[in-house]
């Protein structure tokens, strides 16, 4: 039996702890606030198997300045962080080259097509399978131009095995009667799904692990070092030792990879949402508003309206005007949405330039493993990431080529 420490108690870290525990290892999870608020709590709850296209594709880089001109638009950069973001933006530009973008697409396909295969058994085991709703997702467009511009993206999705159904505006309103006349086109993706409350999933998974003897420690690890026979981790409270370590601390992970001499182009892509507890409209599935870059999901805690991508590092305070702006956007599509008061939230999505997570053994230490950088797809990819990390730790043969997720790509 190996003694393994998992750093990070978000959905990725907890899924890894679950999978390694099931494999027979002794697991300890260390997090500065194991039960506290995380990006895993505030996401849209999407099981976004259709999101197999990287953010950086040919031509998209030149749209970035236009998006940034609108301070409450889908993308913004805090002025005091713009220079620090330049290395990441340059890698984003390189990732948009056609050959690179295609490789990223194929790597996302490999992860997302396995999402349910690994997720459903875990959800059944921890008792949350009823919270998984496989009702499909509706992607809507308000203009002919916007719909046409996305056709290459849809062609790649269809080629990768994503089932789609074209809908006229009227057809889309048959699926979701609350939608207004602004919607002109839609695409229905039956394979997509959502969970009724992502916080519930995380809380139940953590509770299950504690019940089964997984140890949780509240601490912040500042350094990781390799000893002759084990790993040494220096926390604020004490020093921990383990046979192996998995780093799954989301947007904060690059601080520790740099200590190993390994570059990692990882940025906080802050997301925002507003959750309206008692909305005056009803929807039955996740709806994605393709041109405005936001989503709405019917959760048990309320109607969640989420989106936006803001780059400002980990220390800038949130700008909740962006949460308010998302509600105003939703009203454009739902004329009967009068209740606009809700709970606002923001969180740090760990974002890489090529939209691929880092699922990798460290280059400098064969006892250290990385699992972070999932961007918008942490919930979707949590279980498959856990399986891949388990296969790496046990030197098992995998049916997925993991080289595209290696931290070596940044070095």
Q: If you average pLDDT over every residue of the chain, what do you get?
A: 94
pTM for the whole thing?
A: 0.95
Tens of pLDDT, residue by residue over 22-78, are: 999 899 999 999 998 788 888 999 999 999 999 888 877 666 666 666 666 667 888
DSSP letter assigned to residue 119: H
Q: So what's the pLDDT on residue 73?
A: 65
Over 80: is that where the pLDDT of 335 sits?
Answer: yes
Residue 267 near residue 351, CB atoms below 8 Å = yes
Per-residue tokens: 295: 């989503």
How far apart are alpha carbons 269 and 348 in whole angstroms? 6
Phi/psi of residue 287, nearest 5 degrees: -120, 130
Per-residue tokens: 256: 């520790």
Over 90: is that where the pLDDT of 342 sits?
Answer: yes
Tens of pLDDT, residue by residue over 156-194, are: 999 999 999 999 999 999 999 999 999 999 999 999 999
Domains, the chain, ranges and CATH? 3-410 (3.50.50.60)
Strands 26-31 and 3-7: parallel
């Amino acid at each position: 039996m190996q003694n393994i420490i998992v750093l990070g108690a978000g959905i990725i870290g907890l899924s890894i702890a679950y999978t390694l525990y099931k494999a027979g290892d002794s697991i300890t999870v260390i997090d500065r606030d194991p039960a506290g608020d995380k990006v895993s709590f505030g996401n849209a709850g999407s099981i976004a198997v259709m999101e197999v296209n990287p953010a950086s594709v040919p031509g998209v880089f030149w749209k970035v300045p236009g998006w940034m001109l609108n301070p409450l638009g889908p993308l913004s950069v805090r002025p005091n962080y713009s220079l620090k973001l330049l290395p990441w933006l340059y890698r984003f530009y390189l990732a948009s080259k056609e050959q690179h973008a295609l490789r990223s697409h194929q790597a996302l396909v490999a992860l997302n097509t396995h999402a349910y295969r690994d997720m459903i058994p875990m959800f059944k085991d921890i008792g949350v399978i009823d919270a998984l709703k496989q009702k499909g997702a509706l992607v809507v467009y308000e203009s002919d131009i916007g719909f046409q511009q996305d056709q290459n993206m849809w062609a790649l999705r269809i080629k990768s095995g994503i089932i789609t159904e074209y809908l006229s505006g009227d057809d889309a309103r048959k699926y979701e009667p609350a939608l207004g006349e602004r919607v002109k086109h839609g695409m229905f993706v039956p394979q997509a799904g959502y969970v009724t409350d992502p916080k519930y999933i995380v809380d139940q998974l953590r509770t299950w692990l504690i019940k089964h003897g997984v140890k949780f420690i509240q601490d912040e690890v500042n350094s990781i070092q390799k000893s002759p026979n084990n790993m040494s981790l220096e926390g604020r409270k004490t020093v921990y030792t383990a046979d192996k370590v998995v780093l799954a601390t989301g947007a904060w992970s690059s601080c520790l990879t740099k200590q190993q001499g390994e570059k990692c182009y990882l940025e906080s892509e802050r997301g925002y949402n507003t959750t309206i507890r008692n909305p005056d409209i009803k929807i039955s599935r996740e709806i994605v508003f393709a041109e405005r870059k936001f989503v709405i999901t019917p959760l048990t805690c309320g109607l969640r309206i989420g989106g936006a991508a803001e780059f400002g590092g980990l220390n800038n305070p949130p700008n909740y005007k962006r949460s308010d702006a998302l509600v105003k956007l939703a009203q454009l599509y739902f004329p009967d949405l009068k209740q606009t008061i809700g709970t606002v939230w923001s969180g740090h999505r760990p974002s890489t330039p090529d939209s691929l997570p880092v699922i990798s053994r460290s280059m400098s230490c064969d006892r250290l493993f990385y699992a972070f950088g999932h961007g918008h797809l942490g919930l979707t990819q949590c279980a498959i990431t856990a399986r891949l990390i388990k296969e790496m730790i046990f030197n098992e043969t995998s049916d997925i080529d993991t080289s595209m997720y290696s931290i070596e790509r940044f070095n």
